[in-house]
Structure formats: C-alpha cells, structure tokens
C-alpha cells in the first residue's frame, strides 16, 4: 500500500473518519519561475545551472531584485522552499564584485548556524570564490576568532553572540563593520515577545555602530507564515521593509487531517491520550513504507513515544534503530547521524520536539503527525511542512489533546485553515529591556547629546542614567562610567535581569536552568514539584536571598499548583473604548503577587490531594494590562448574583487565557489573568489580562485590539465543549468550580451581546 | 503613561547622590601636589613628569633567548617606550576608558616618566594628536600584559576617536611572556607585584589594589577628592619603573659578571628555553653554570642534554642520560634517548638492546605497582623487535 492508497483507505475507514473534525486537501501548487535577474553575475547563473537550477522561483528573484534596489526585504517561506538561495544570492552577487564585502548571518540557535555554513560552503565552492565563511559562537577557539574578525567575509552567528561577543568589542571587528553590506535574519518569527524586544534593541545597537563605521547594510529576512511578517520585520530593524509573501516553490498535494481522540469521560471532558492515539495511527501508516515524523511538545513526550513505538517495532516490521528520537541536548555528532539516516531513508520514524521544526536539513518526509497542537498555527504549519516531497502527496495528521486550544481548533478548524490570525509583536520600548540595551550601547560608543536610540525618549533616558551615575555627561556626550561590562548583565532570552538558578542536587549540583523571579515563586517554591523538560523534580528549598532553588528528581504522582495572591493597581489608562455592553481599557498596572501556598494535584485525574503553605516576599511588577469591565447592572439585569458572577468570571478568565495564543503568538505562560468582582478602580466586575513581564511586552496591547474576537471565541468554545459541567478543556478542572460555573460563564458572555 | 512617570517607577530603588561639577580646584590641587603641568586650556589634561638616575642599567638589551627568537637582534634601551594604563574597567571592551596613560623611557643613565591624567571623559583627541609625533622617536613598545589588555584598550580609544596613531606601528615587547617562561616555577604568581617583591626586592607602601582603581576614578569625577587618585598615579608610576627593572633583570640572565636572579627552578626553565633555540646557544649553559653554586636540578640536566643532542654533541648528552637514569621522572625518557644513540649513532645494536630490555624489565616490575603502560612502553617494544631483527 502506498501513501495514496493509504489516503483512500483512510477516507473509507468510517471509524477513523468519525474522529476527524476536518480533512482538508490542499491542491498541488505548480512551481512559479522567474528568469535570472539581469544584474545577477554570470558566474553565479552558470554555477546554478550546473547545479540543475535553470530558473529561479519567483520569490527568489523578487528578493534579489528588491535588495538590488537597496530595500530591506522579508521573505515569507514555508519549510523547504528555497529561502537559503533567496538570501545567499544577493550576498554572493556582491562578493563577485567586491571581495572585501561582509555579511552577517543571524540564526536563532547554534544548531541552525552550523547547518547554514554547509550551504554557504557549497555555493562558495561552486563559484570558486576565495570568500571566507565562519560560524562564530561560544565554541569558536580564540585563535580562529582572530581570523574571523579580520578575514571573515561571512560571519554566521546568533543574537546572543552578537550581543556579548561582537558589539562590545567592535573595535576588533572594524573590517566587518566598515564593509558590512548585508545582515541576514533567518526565522524572523522566532523573534517575538521578550526575545524579540531584545533583538529589536540589539539591531538598533548594530545599526548605530555601522553608522559610526560608515556602513549601512541591507537586511534580508525570512519568516514563517504569520499574520504580520512585514510589521514584525519593520519593528525588528526599525526601518521600512518590503514584504514578499508570494512563494514560487512547488508543492505536491497535501492532506491535513484534524484528529480528535474519542471522549472517555464526558463528565470530566477527558479524551483518550494523545500518545496512545499516535501509536495507533502510526500502526496504520507504517505498512505504506512512508517515512514519518512525529512532533511532540516536550522531550519527555518524545522519549515516551519512541519507547512505545520501539516496543511494537517487530509488529511494524521495523528494526528498533529505525525509530529514533530527536531533540535538543543531543550531541552534534549524534544529531548529524540522525539527519543522515533520515536523508538516506535508513530511519523510518523520527520523533522530535520542535527542534526539527526549524530549518535543519533533513530532507523531506512523507507523513507528519503532530502529537498535540504545537502551540501556534505557524508552528503547526512549519511542522506539517516537513512532510511533502516536491510533487508528491503529503499527509499531516494533527492529534488533539484535551487542552482548551486543541479542542477549540477541533471545533473551529476553519480558524486553522483561514488566514493565520497570529500576530507576532515586539515592543522596542519595554523600559527594562530598553534600558539594558541603552547601557550596552553607551558602553559601545558614547552617545551624542542629540542622538536618537529610541524615538522621542532618548535624551530623557540618557539624562536619567547620568543622574544615576551610570553615564557621565561631558563634552556634549554621554560616556559609560562603570567598571561592569553591561552585556554580561542581560540575557536576551529573559525579561528581568535577576533570575533564580535551578540546582539539581542529585547531579553534583549541576545547574539545569534559570527562571525569572515571578515564575520562580510559583514554580520553584519549597516543596513544589517542578517539571523540567518533562521530568519531575522536587524542590527541596528555594533560597530567595541567594536566588537559588535546590531540586532533586522524583517519581511524582502529583504536581503542584501555586496559590498566588494577586493585587492589581491601575497606574494609568492608556486607551479605553465602550462597547455596547462592556468596556475595555488598556492600562498600565502595578501587579503585586505573592505565593502563599500550593495545592497538590494528582496527575491525570487532577484530583486535589493536599495543601501546603509558602512564605515568600511580595513581588511587584509594572506592566500593561487589558482590562475588561462587565457592568454590574447589566449582569444583575440578567439575573446574575454576586457569587455567581465571581465563579463565572473565573471560568471565563481561564478560557480567555488559554485561547489568547490564537491571536497573539505567545506561550500560555507569557500572560496572566486576574478576575475580581469588586474592582477598586472600575467599581465593577473586571478581568485583567496582563503581560507577565516587567514593563510589558505588548501582548495585552495586541489583545486590546482583538478582545471582541477573543471573547467570542471563548463563548463559542465554552458552549461547544463536550463536557457537562466544565472541564480542563473549557473553563478549567471541575473540582475548582461549582457545578453551574460553565452555565454562568455562558450567561455572562451572552449578556455582553458579542458580535460574531 | 509618559516616559518620565515610567522612569520614576523604574528608578525608585536606585539611590541618588549629589553631584560635584566643578573639577578645576581638584585638578589644580593635583597639579600642585605633583608640581605638574596642565596641557590644553579648554580641555585640560594633567602632565606629570619626573626623572631619576638609574645608571646601573645596561643600555643594550638582548632578548634573543628569552623571547625564543622573536627579538633576535639586540635592542637599544633608549629606543624602548614603556607604557602602562589605568582604566575605567578591567574587563576590556570598547567602553573602557584609559584615564591615566603612563610612559617611561631610559636615556643617558636616567629613567624618565611621563604620566597623562585625564580628569574627565572625552579628553583624548588633543592628547593623542600631541603624542603621535613623539612616538616616532621609539622603535619598541614595552609593557606588562599589554598585548592582551593595554594595547587593545588604547587601540580602541584611537579608533573611537578616528585616529590612526604611530604607536600601533612600534614592535611590542610584552614582558609577561618571557617572565613567565623563566620564573613560572619560581614564584607564587607572575603578576607585577610579586615580581617586584621577589626579583627587585621593592616593596610598595600604601599601594591601591588594581581592582579598586575604576571606582576611584568615578568617585573623583563625582566628588573631586584627590587622595585616592594620587594613590593611583603613584601606583602607575611604580608600575612603570618596575617595567624597566624587570626588563633589565631579564637582560642579565646571561650576564656572568653579576649574581644571577635565577634560582634553581628558573635555571631549569631557562635550560628548556635554550634547548628549544635554533641554533642551540650552548655557550649560554656555561654562563648559567659559572655562577650557580648549588648542583643543577635533574630537569636542568635533562634540558641541557636535549640541547646537546640537538647541537650534535650526542656523546656529551649520553653521559648526562646515564646520570639521569637515577631520576624516576626521566628514567625512561633518557633510556630511550640512550638506546637511540647507541643504535643510530654508534650502531651498537647489542648495547642498545640491553638498555631496551632493561627499560622494559623496569616497566614490567612497576606494572605490579599499578604502572599503566603508555606510549613509551609500546615504543620500547617496537624498538626491541627491530633490534632483534637486526641482530
Ligand atoms: Zn468542557
């Protein structure tokens, strides 16, 4: 049975059909070609032809032409659609004329940059260019660093290295800065939220140094499909960007199946587990001979699925080593072996975390199975893009879990197949982040009095830093006046400078991770069960003064859920708008949070099996919040009592929080939600949705513009859930609510007369 | 919320201190303290000059051996510009400001010192421009750890002021490398202070630890108090003087007319340096030995033997190898050398075989005490096999 036959077979399998909430067939898309641009160097054209590339895809040609006009460009490209060539063509074309030219390639991870170098070396060899290309990362030895600084034409690195290793030492990189023609930013959609805000500031620093050395590089970016790639690119580089979102690469016929496991307990709204379902589906597919990639959300899931499948390897007619796991934390050599095995067909099934979602070269496979919704539509499509050899049929099966977002998409698959509503947002002006980078920038080069780093506020901020004796104003400039190295004080992937370090006492006090202080209070308080990469740890002690959490591994049958006392004070109202029945405001708030205790909750059954107390200091955070105000009189008119309102708001809040990532790309843990029946500021029942980062990173600002959609989605989802009294898939675990909570939530939402 | 209100939130926990803007009284006080001069009217820089007699210093420097051939011809001391910076940060990077730039040189039996103190940021351009022609009167730049710290900092400063100065073109003698080569095993550490203490027998009074220096400068900018800045300027002054004397010490390693600064460990290290030279300067051993009172260490003898071997004096080397067999660290190494010598030079395969078998025997005995055969064991086995075939 081949894949096409399997698809026919599945189409006629009524048991299987019943579980599908949607089967979408995307018609094959023929390649769209464009002739080689006239100003593309003849040698490049010839070597491409030798490689078998007779014409360019339209997006490759368009990118080249746009850059040739001197514009910055962002190309939207699905997986495996020739994006590498799209950004390498302008670079190499310039090198043909100017052997001193420099280009900087930024990849979000180290693994990706290693992979990229291979591609560059290949093209370079074919063009017989004496161009020197290097990766520059934490592992680069000191003597090679010297060579890279002076002689590297193409420097392939990541934002963290640019931040700590290159910009603060720019005088050693004078050749790079003086001759920098291109900056390539791959996987742009990864730069969002806190990381994105950091990177936007980092790029501002880079541009500032380029200006000092008299260069003005063009930015060539690539992004996965999201709602606003152009806007994101504009925000990251702080300049006008041309968007190319028509992709010319061909694609074979594609089947995308949304599979919802059967309900096993309607009261609790529980469905059959994802892992088990994936095993059954794999069983059906293996006989077709197709190569399969399975994506799981955590490393633990990956290991679990691999074990399950290896157990039935004999039955599947496979050797155990034809089924492999792939995740972060593997040694490069091991990863290469797997990548090779996939390419030559030796490995039949690979189970991966999102590590393989990015552009690592493993060739194309036939079937992608998503074990649970990966958290964003963009990710889901990228993972699905791993299946589909050119001009061949590809099959993607997304298996839903019982999580609210998974279930919502199963109810409303059109959401998934329509235009991607996910917006990636970065906030250049998050104050703590901006300040960190302003300091780094001042270290790198003194600020001139009238210089602008961020629109409007630069002078203000510099004066502030001078008054705090971090800078010194002299001779009309602001000089760095501290013996610390500011780039060491800030990591690009965290929001607050201070982090709690997680120490594993069972492994010679190895540091296994870090967490911001707010997160640490909730997840690393003493006696918490902390899940790290899917492995449960018991927290022996949280040493708050040392910012250290000591943990050891356990086999836990429960997890812990912190009881957090939250208080929100509105500092300022930035925007407000009255809807027919409710009101929304975008506010600056001060949130005080203190973890006072925790609940022990049993895995699977979510049963509450105990409590504990926690003594930790209050933390304060200033951030932005979307405030939804539900007028008491409207609710009372609809017969809702105060106690009901409280329950109902909590239920709505749960749904809103879990559905919000549909509209803004973020993790459920990036936002927090708080509901209160008598809000001292609004004097009404209120729900706050706020950014869980000091200074705010623009998530609630984005939600402010889409609150109607979000509320409507919540209502629809709660109404459509299969459970009877509320469940983790809609309003949260039943045990936490009273019996009518789901009903009440709906009554409140209906009273708001939402547009649909 | 507007930015200033945000700021008030942001800074709440940061303390504030009052600023002292007027610097001139402080600068004048410093000038008077040192009887120094102020350069440039609008953007003053303090210049402190001094000189003292130092007749007992060799005017010709020969670093050929200790620099392992990097400086292979004699250097005229007068052509050397010694330099040392005090900076606003110790980690490097383009934000580090050199607020005190000290130079020293030797001429006609005197040490001359010039220190430029920059009483605020942004005072560099005029100074650099003024200094540039002066750099041309020197051929060498001498520093202690200047290759990895001081010179990159200065280079950064030049670049940030868009200047390309002659200083960069001088050949750079960084004393830290030869000093480590010679005294690494003799001193607890090879920083400038312990070199001063152990080699020069100079002791510092009221010295300020290097780690405090950036903060001293920031405090000076803020308060105008000069006590600690004086300590920094004196510290820099001492550093500069020491540089000259340390170079002189290095230069005198092979000076047979005087007592040597080399203890037994340093002599062994020097022997090793000599053995690595090409051609091997065998006469250096004579000088080393002429003043050494104690018997030389095994390590010294080993390196001397290797030097002799490389110089084609295998016979003399062989005598040492026989002597060195008694020292466990060298036993097998020198037995191997002896075997090679007997086999290849003298073609006495029988005698060579005897040594090889003896070595293997010793190793096998040691095996019972946990000796793990290493590469040398395998080498001996191979040699044995070959010798057996030959005979
Ligand atoms: Zn439900």
Tell which residue, A592, A525, A585, has the closest CA to residue A559. Answer: A525
Residue B5's pLDDT is 61
Non-local CB neighbours of A495 within 8 Å, separated by 6+ positions: A194, A430, A432, A433, A516, A693, A694, A695, A697
Report d(CA A646, CA A643) in Å as an integer.
Answer: 5
Q: Is the fold of A33-244 the same as that of A251-417?
A: yes
Domain boundaries, chain A: 33-244, 251-417, 431-478, 562-751
Are A572 and B1 an interchain contact pair (Cβ–Cβ within 8 Å)? yes
Output DSSP code: residue A347. Answer: -
> How is residue B210 written in tokens?
């290097």
* A chain contacts of residue B10, beta-carbon cutoff 8 Å: 431-432, 435, 464
**How remote is the CA of residue A560 from the centroid of ligand 1, in Å?**
22
**How remote is the CA of residue A18 from the centroid of ligand 1, in Å?**
20
3-state secondary structure at position A87: helix
Q: Which of B40, B85, B121 to mutate to test the interface with A (most CBs of A within 10 A)?
A: B121
For A441, name the nearest residue in chain B, comparing CA atoms only.
Answer: B95
Report d(CA A454, CA B267) in Å as an integer.
Answer: 62
Class of A251-417 per CATH? alpha beta
Q: What angle do CA A405, A408, A411 make, to 5 degrees?
A: 155
Burial, A527: exposed, middle or buried (Cβ in 10 Å; 0-12, 13-18, 19+)? Answer: middle
Beta strand A535-543 with A477-480 is: unpaired
Q: Give residue A404's Cα distance to chain centre.
A: 19
Give the other-Cβ count within 10 Å of A260's Cβ: 24
For A212, name the nearest residue in chain B, comparing CA atoms only.
Answer: B160
**How remote is the CA of residue A603 from the centroid of ligand 1, in Å?**
18
Tell which residue, A214, A130, A132, A113, has the closest CA to residue A170. Answer: A214
Non-local CB neighbours of A515 within 8 Å, separated by 6+ positions: A499, A500, A502, A523, A524, A549
> How is residue B327 written in tokens?
């020292």
> How is residue A439 written in tokens?
């300091």
Are B95 and A435 an interchain contact pair (Cβ–Cβ within 8 Å)? no
Are A468 and B11 an interchain contact pair (Cβ–Cβ within 8 Å)? yes
Residue B21's pLDDT is 41
3-state secondary structure at position A106: strand
3-state secondary structure at position A546: coil
Whether the upstream peptide bond of residue A566 has omega within 30° of 0, thus cis, is: no
3-state secondary structure at position B268: helix
3-state secondary structure at position A105: strand
Are A174 and B159 an interchain contact pair (Cβ–Cβ within 8 Å)? yes
For A598-612, letters b (16+ CB in 10 Å) and e give bbbbeeeebeeeeee
**How remote is the CA of residue A736 from the centroid of ligand 1, in Å?**
13
A597 backbone dihedrals φ, ψ, rounded to 5°:
-175, -170
Contact assessment for residue A440 and residue A480, using Cβ atoms and an 8 Å cutoff: no
pTM of the model: 0.82
Contact assessment for residue A1 and residue A393, using Cβ atoms and an 8 Å cutoff: no
A475–chain B nearest CA distance, Å? 6
Burial, B342: exposed, middle or buried (Cβ in 10 Å; 0-12, 13-18, 19+)? Answer: buried
User: Which residues are in the CB-under-5-Å shell of ion ligand 1?
Assistant: A 269, 721, 723, 727, 729-730
> How is residue A164 written in tokens?
């700590």
Tell which residue, B388, B148, B160, B125, has the closest CA to residue A475. Answer: B125
Tell which residue, A153, A158, A168, has the closest CA to residue A114. Answer: A158
> How is residue A77 written in tokens?
């490209």
Residue A142's pLDDT is 84
3-state secondary structure at position A514: strand
DSSP per-residue letters across A383-398: HHTTB--TTS-EEEEE
Contact assessment for residue A626 and residue A575, using Cβ atoms and an 8 Å cutoff: no
Are A485 and B152 an interchain contact pair (Cβ–Cβ within 8 Å)? no
B70–chain A nearest CA distance, Å? 19
Non-local CB neighbours of A598 within 8 Å, separated by 6+ positions: A525, A527, A528, A560, A561, A562, A563, A611, A612, A614
Q: For residue range A675-702, what is the model confidence (pLDDT) as tens digits?
A: 999 988 989 999 999 998 888 888 898 8
Q: Which residues of chain A have pLDDT under 70?
A: 1, 79-80, 268, 328-332, 359, 389-391, 494-498, 532-534, 604-606, 734-737, 756
Contact assessment for residue B142 and residue B175, using Cβ atoms and an 8 Å cutoff: yes
Report d(CA A90, CA A56) in Å as an integer.
Answer: 13
**How remote is the CA of residue A261 from the centroid of ligand 1, in Å?**
15
DSSP per-residue letters across A558-616: EEEEEEEEEEEEEEEEEEEEE-SS-EEEEEEEEEEEEEEEEEEEETTT--EEEEEE---
For A336-354, letters b (16+ CB in 10 Å) and e give eebbebbeeeebbbbbbbb
Residue B368, by phi and psi: left (phi above 0), alpha (psi -120 to 50) or beta? alpha
Report d(CA A410, CA A257) in Å as an integer.
Answer: 10
Report d(CA B156, CA B164) in Å as an integer.
Answer: 10
For A166, name the nearest residue in chain B, comparing CA atoms only.
Answer: B93
Alpha helix segments (H runs only) across A393-515: 404-411, 413-417, 431-444, 458-467
Report d(CA B166, CA B163) in Å as an integer.
Answer: 10
| CATH tag, A33-244 | 3.40.50.300
- What is the value of ipTM here, to two decimals? 0.82
Q: For residue range B345-359, what is the model confidence (pLDDT) as tens digits?
A: 888 888 999 999 998
* Nearest-by-Cβ selection for A169 from B1, B94, B214: B94
> How is residue A533 written in tokens?
């990469």
* A chain contacts of residue B6, beta-carbon cutoff 8 Å: 431, 588, 622
Find tokens 């030097």 and name the residue. Answer: B307
Contact assessment for residue A247 and residue A276, using Cβ atoms and an 8 Å cutoff: no
Are B215 and A460 an interchain contact pair (Cβ–Cβ within 8 Å)? no
* B chain contacts of residue A445, beta-carbon cutoff 8 Å: 94, 160
Find tokens 């086995």 and name the residue. Answer: B381
Report d(CA A500, CA B172) in Å as an integer.
Answer: 45
Helix axes B375-390, B328-340, angle to 10 degrees: 30
For A440, name the nearest residue in chain B, comparing CA atoms only.
Answer: B95
3-state secondary structure at position A207: helix
pLDDT tens digit at each of 391 positions of chain B: 466 666 665 655 343 333 434 357 889 999 999 999 999 888 899 999 999 998 788 888 888 888 888 888 889 999 999 999 999 998 889 999 999 999 999 998 999 999 999 999 989 989 999 999 999 999 999 999 999 999 999 999 999 998 888 898 999 999 999 999 988 888 888 888 888 888 888 888 888 998 999 999 999 998 889 999 999 999 999 999 999 999 998 888 877 545 556 788 888 888 999 888 888 888 888 888 876 667 778 889 999 999 999 988 989 999 999 988 888 888 888 999 999 999 888 888 889 999 999 988 888 887 777 777 678 888 888 999 988 887 6
Q: Give residue A674's Cα distance to chain centre.
A: 24
- Residues on A contacting B at a C-beta cutoff of 8 Å: 168-172, 174, 431-432, 435, 442-446, 456-457, 460-461, 464, 467-469, 472, 474-475, 477, 479-487, 571-572, 574, 588, 590, 622
Q: What angle do CA A167, A177, B169 make, to 5 degrees?
A: 95
* Nearest-by-Cβ selection for A468 from B1, B14, B156: B14
Residue A659's pLDDT is 92
Residue A704's pLDDT is 93
CA dist B52 → B2, B66, B112, B135, B243 (Å): 62, 28, 7, 21, 15
Report d(CA A204, CA A755) in Å as an integer.
Answer: 41
* B chain contacts of residue A442, beta-carbon cutoff 8 Å: 95
């Amino acid at each position: 049975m081949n894949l096409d036959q399997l698809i026919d077979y599945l189409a006629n399998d009524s048991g299987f059909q019943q579980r599908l909430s949607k089967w979408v067939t995307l018609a094959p898309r023929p390649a769209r070609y464009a002739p080689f641009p006239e100003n593309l160097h003849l040698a490049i054209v010839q070597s491409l032809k030798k490689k078998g590339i007779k014409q360019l895809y339209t997006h490759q040609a368009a990118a080249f032409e746009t850059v040739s006009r001197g514009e910055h460009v962002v190309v939207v490209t699905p997986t495996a659609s020739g994006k590498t060539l799209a950004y390498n063509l302008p670079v190499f074309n310039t090198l043909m004329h100017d052997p001193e030219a420099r280009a900087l390639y930024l990849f979000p991870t180290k693994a990706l940059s290693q992979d990229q170098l291979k591609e560059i070396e290949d093209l370079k060899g074919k063009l017989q260019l004496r161009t020197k290309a290097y990766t520059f990362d934490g592992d680069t030895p000191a003597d090679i660093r010297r060579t890279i600084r002076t002689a590297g034409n193409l420097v392939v690195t990541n934002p963290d290295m640019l931040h700590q290793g290159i910009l603060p030492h720019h005088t050693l990189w004078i050749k790079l800065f003086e001759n920098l023609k291109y900056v390539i930013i791959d996987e742009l959609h990864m730069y969002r939220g806190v990381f994105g805000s950091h990177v936007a500031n980092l790029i501002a620093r880079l541009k500032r140094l380029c200006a000092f050395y008299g260069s003005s590089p063009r930015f060539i970016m690539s992004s996965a499909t999201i709602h606003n790639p152009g806007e994101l690119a504009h925000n990251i580089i702080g300049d006008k960007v041309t968007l190319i979102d028509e992709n010319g690469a061909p694609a074979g016929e594609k089947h995308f199946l949304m599979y919802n496991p059967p309900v096993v307990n309607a009261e609790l709204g529980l469905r059959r587990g994802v892992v088990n379902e994936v095993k059954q589906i794999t069983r059906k597919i293996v006989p077709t001979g197709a190569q399969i990639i399975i994506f799981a959300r955590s490393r633990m899931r990956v290991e679990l699925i691999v074990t399950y499948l290896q157990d039935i390897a004999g039955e599947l007619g496979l050797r155990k080593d034809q089924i492999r796991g792939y995740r972060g934390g593997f040694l490069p050599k091991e990863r290469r072996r797997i990548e090779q095995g996939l390419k030559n067909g030796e490995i039949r099934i690979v189970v991966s975390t999102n590590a393989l979602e990015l552009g690592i070269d493993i060739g194309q496979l036939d079937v992608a199975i998503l074990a649970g919704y990966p958290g964003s539509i963009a990710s889901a499509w990228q993972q699905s893009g791993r299946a589909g050899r050119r001009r061949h049929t590809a099959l993607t099966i997304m298996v839903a879990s019982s999580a609210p977002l998974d279930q919502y998409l199963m109810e409303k698959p059109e959401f998934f197949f329509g235009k991607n509503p996910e917006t990636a947002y970065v906030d250049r002006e998050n104050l703590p982040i901006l300040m960190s980078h302003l300091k780094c920038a001042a270290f790198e080069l003194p600020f001139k009095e009238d210089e602008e780093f961020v629109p409007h506020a630069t002078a203000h901020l510099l004066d502030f830093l001078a008054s705090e004796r971090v800078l010194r104003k002299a001779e009309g400039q602001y000089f760095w006046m501290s013996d610390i190295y500011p780039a060491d004080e800030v990591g690009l992937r965290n929001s607050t400078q201070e982090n709690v370090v997680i120490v594993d006492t069972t492994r010679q006090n190895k540091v296994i991770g870090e967490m911001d202080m707010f997160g640490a209070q909730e997840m690393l308080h003493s006696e918490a069960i902390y899940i790290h990469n899917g492995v449960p740890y018991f927290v022996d002690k949280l040493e708050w003064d040392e910012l250290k959490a000591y943990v050891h591994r356990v086999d836990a049958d429960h997890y812990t859920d912190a009881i957090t006392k939250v208080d929100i004070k509105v500092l300022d109202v930035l925007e407000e708008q009255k809807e027919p029945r409710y009101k929304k405001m975008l506010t600056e708030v001060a949130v005080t949070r203190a973890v006072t205790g925790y609940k022990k909750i049993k895995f699977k059954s979510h049963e509450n099996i105990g409590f504990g107390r926690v003594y930790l200091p209050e933390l304060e955070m200033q951030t932005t919040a979307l405030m939804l105000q539900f007028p008491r009189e409207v609710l009372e008119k609809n017969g809702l009592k105060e106690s009901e309102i409280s329950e109902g708001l909590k239920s709505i809040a749960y749904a809103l929080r879990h559905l919000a990532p549909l509209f803004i790309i973020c993790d459920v843990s990036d936002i927090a939600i708080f509901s209160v029946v008598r809000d001292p500021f609004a004097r009404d029942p209120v729900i706050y949705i706020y950014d869980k980062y000091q200074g705010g990173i623009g998530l609630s600002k984005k939600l402010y513009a889409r609150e109607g959609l979000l509320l409507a989605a919540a209502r629809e989802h709660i109404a459509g859930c299969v459970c009877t009294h509320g469940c983790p898939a809609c309003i949260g675990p039943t045990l936490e609510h009273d019996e009518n909570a789901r009903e009440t939530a709906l009554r409140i939402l209906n009273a708001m007369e939402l547009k649909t | 919320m507007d930015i200033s209100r945000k700021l008030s939130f942001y800074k709440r926990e940061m303390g504030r201190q009052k600023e002292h803007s007027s610097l001139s009284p402080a600068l004048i006080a410093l000038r008077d303290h040192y009887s120094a001069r102020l350069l440039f009217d609008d953007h003053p820089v303090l210049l402190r000059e001094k000189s003292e007699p130092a007749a007992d210093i060799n005017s010709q420097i020969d670093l050929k051996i200790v620099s392992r051939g990097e400086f292979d011809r004699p250097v005229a001391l007068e052509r050397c510009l010694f330099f040392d910076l005090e900076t606003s940060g110790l980690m490097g990077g383009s934000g580090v400001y050199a607020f005190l730039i000290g130079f020293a040189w030797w001429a006609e039996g005197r040490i001359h010192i010039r220190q430029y103190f920059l009483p605020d940021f942004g005072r560099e351009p005029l100074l650099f421009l003024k200094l540039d022609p002066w750099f041309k009167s020197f051929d060498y730049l001498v520093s202690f750890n200047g290759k990895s710290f001081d010179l990159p900092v200065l280079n950064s400063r030049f670049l940030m002021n868009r200047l390309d100065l002659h200083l960069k073109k001088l050949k750079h003698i960084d004393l830290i490398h030869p000093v480590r080569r010679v005294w690494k095993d003799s001193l607890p550490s090879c920083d400038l202070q312990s070199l001063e203490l152990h080699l020069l027998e100079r002791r510092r009074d009221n010295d300020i630890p290097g780690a405090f220096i950036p903060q001293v400068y920031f405090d000076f900018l803020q308060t105008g108090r000069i006590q600690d800045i004086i300590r920094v300027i004196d510290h820099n002054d001492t550093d500069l003087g020491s540089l000259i004397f340390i170079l002189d010490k290095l230069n005198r390693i092979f000076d047979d007319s005087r007592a040597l600064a080399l203890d037994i460990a340093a002599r062994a290290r020097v022997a090793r340096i000599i053995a690595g030279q090409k051609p091997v300067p065998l006469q250096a051993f004579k000088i080393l030995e002429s003043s050494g009172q104690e018997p030389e260490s095994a390590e010294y003898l080993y390196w001397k033997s290797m030097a002799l071997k490389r110089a084609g004096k295998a016979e003399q080397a062989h005598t040492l190898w026989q002597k060195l067999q008694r020292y466990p660290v060298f036993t097998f190494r020198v037995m191997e050398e002896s075997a090679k010598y007997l086999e290849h030079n003298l073609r006495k395969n029988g005698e060579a075989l005897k040594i090889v078998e003896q070595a293997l025997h010793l190793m096998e005995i040691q095996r019972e005490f946990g000796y793990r055969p290493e590469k040398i064991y395998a080498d001996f086995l191979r040699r044995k096999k070959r010798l057996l075939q030959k005979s």
